[in-house]
Structure 1
Amino acid sequence: MTLLPLSHADPRRALVLFSGGQDSTVCLAWALQHFSQVETLGFDYGQRHRIELDCRQTVRQALVQRFPAWGARLGEDHLLDLSLLSQISACALTEERAIEMQANGLPNTFVPGRNLLFLTFAATLAYRRGAQVLVGGMCETDYSGYPDCRDNTLKALQVALSLGLDQPVCLQTPLMFLTKADTWDLSTQLGGEALNDLIVAHTHTCYLGERGRRHDWGHGCGTCPACELRARGHAEWRARQALQSA
């Protein structure tokens, strides 16, 4: 992936779906590198823990402190209340229940329609804020099989949003075809070890909301699917680095 120098920034305004997790933080850094004005948007949808929401402001502040050039581009943060979603989507991310596979082949961490709703509300906010680009951390390479993370889904939604708002809506998904190891590579290209250290120290992706233990790859329980995926990607990335330096 080619990174544009700061001096060649896209003049369009971007709105980043920012949860406070690793993937959305890398996407925020990517947007700050590519666009001249960037705002962030989070969602409180009644998730079973609020750890990521609590991390959001810490991550934003750390990015501003460690990367002043990006900080000059970082605008307002928005948090929308979508708690209604938890009332109609009983799953392991909105209720205290064990994480397991379902008969349809999807894990019960799948929140039906979540990304479709997130992007629809994001497009509504972007319309008011004058932003033309929505940036999300959806990925169909290393993921749990969620159908609303697939490239075809998002391409169709981009068309629907553009038609429904009667103006172009551009959905950017920088991680769509990257593995988790590739995501660490992208983070390194964007901000080097400073950004990687920020991600490990301040972001949170664990499904169970465990924050106490810090691993090489960040905080988390270490056993849920999100932690296992993140740990495996970090190990693959470290092994790749070792081969390159040998």
Structure 2
Amino acid sequence: MTATEPGDDGALVLFSGGQDSTTCLAWALARFPRVETLGFDYGQRHRIELDCRDRLRSELGRIDEGWERRLGPDHTVDLATLGAVSETALTRDTEIAMAADGLPNTFVPGRNLVFLTFAAALAYRRGLRHIVGGMCETDYSGYPDCRDDTIKALQVALNLGMERRFVLHTPLMWLDKAATWGLADELGGERLVDLIVEDSHTCYLGERGERHDWGYGCGTCPACALRAKGFAAYRDRSRN
């Protein structure tokens, strides 16, 4: 298939099946008339997140008919090599802890750099100019590839290297987790919040057994703790 000339209207969303990427998908559907999604299978310990994607996509269309019309094809890329070269708690059955370099051992080196590079390659082929990701440096685990400076630098590199004018959007970059829940509420009301609670996946351990107020998960890993804290703060803000 030959590359398609990019338009100004199409968007590609990095869609893992988690809370942040589901919120970003709703954000994109509210702004762009043509939206496609991209997931990555890199041997992640919480690979169950990929199983959530189909239902999330179909249910988003039920929330808003316009979203259903705008939602285009879904793509999945096999990046098993990334998992194979990574010695992390997200790609190995290893206890989650802080590493000697001060970063959590859930950090997968180069992950977002690889994700966005493959996303740009797919966007190049599909004629999509806008690429949307859920990176955030407000409430996050300290991953250097989630920082705004990293994303801006990568945008420059991708545009130079592919001779295109991609725009990398990170709508959650300056939001804490409570504000991310609030953005979902703003975009799709309680129906979207409930969908994220019931059907998205965040837990690093891949646990889907226990149902909490904020969704399913082990309740103790950093991802669960951050999601739970943000949901409680969101509910408090909503009542005030």
Identity %: 67
Structure 1 position 149 matched with structure 2 position 146: yes
Structure 1 position 76 matched with structure 2 position 73: yes
Could you tell me how far apart the structure 1 residues matched to 2:98 and 2:83 are?
A: 19
How big is the shift at 1:240? 1.1
The CA deviation string for residues 100-159 of structure 1, in whole angstroms up to 9 with x for no partner, is: 001111000000000000000000000000000100000000000000000000000000
2:104 matched residue in structure 1:
107
> Do the aligned residues in 2 keep the contact of 1:11 with 1:36 (CA within 8 Å)?
no
How big is the shift at 1:48? 1.7
Relative contact order higher in (CA < 8 Å, ≥ 6 apart): 2
How big is the shift at 1:69? 1.3
Matched letter for residue 54 of structure 2 = Q
> Do the aligned residues in 2 keep the contact of 1:151 with 1:176 (CA within 8 Å)?
yes
Could you tell me how far apart the structure 2 residues matched to 1:31 and 1:42 are?
A: 16
Matched letter for residue 93 of structure 2 = E
Could you tell me how far apart the structure 2 residues matched to 1:12 and 1:68 are?
A: 18
Given candidates 157, 171, 174, the residue that maps to 1:174 is: 171
How big is the shift at 1:25? 0.1
> Do the aligned residues in 2 keep the contact of 1:11 with 1:37 (CA within 8 Å)?
no
SS at match of 2:36: strand
> Do the aligned residues in 2 keep the contact of 1:11 with 1:35 (CA within 8 Å)?
no
Paired residues in the alignment total 234
2:211 matched residue in structure 1:
214
> Do the aligned residues in 1 keep the contact of 2:8 with 2:129 (CA within 8 Å)?
no
TM-score by length of 2: 0.96
Given candidates 42, 60, 83, the residue that maps to 1:45 is: 42
Matching of residues 123-138 of structure 1 within 5 Å:
123-138=120-135
Could you tell me how far apart the structure 2 residues matched to 1:111 and 1:29 are?
A: 26
Could you tell me how far apart the structure 2 residues matched to 1:145 and 1:172 are?
A: 20
Given candidates 33, 58, 68, the residue that maps to 1:61 is: 58
1:5 matched residue in structure 2:
none
Could you tell me how far apart the structure 2 residues matched to 1:223 and 1:136 are?
A: 25
1:196 matched residue in structure 2:
193
Matching of residues 160-171 of structure 1 within 5 Å:
160-171=157-168
SS at match of 1:42: strand
Structure 1 stretches lacking a partner, 5+ long: 1-9
> Do the aligned residues in 1 keep the contact of 2:18 with 2:202 (CA within 8 Å)?
yes
Given candidates 94, 107, 110, the residue that maps to 2:91 is: 94
2:220 matched residue in structure 1:
223
Could you tell me how far apart the structure 2 residues matched to 1:104 and 1:50 are?
A: 26
Matched letter for residue 14 of structure 2 = L
User: Which of 208-217 and 123-132 deviates more?
Assistant: 208-217
Could you tell me how far apart the structure 1 residues matched to 2:152 and 2:8 are?
A: 23
Matched letter for residue 105 of structure 1 = G
Could you tell me how far apart the structure 1 residues matched to 2:60 and 2:184 are?
A: 13
RMSD: 1.0
Given candidates 181, 205, 228, the residue that maps to 2:202 is: 205
Question: Moved runs in structure 1, 4+ residues, more than 3 A?
Answer: none
Structure 2 stretches lacking a partner, 5+ long: 1-6
SS at match of 1:77: strand
1:7 matched residue in structure 2:
none
Could you tell me how far apart the structure 2 residues matched to 1:112 and 1:80 are?
A: 18
> Do the aligned residues in 1 keep the contact of 2:203 with 2:217 (CA within 8 Å)?
yes
Could you tell me how far apart the structure 2 residues matched to 1:33 and 1:86 are?
A: 33
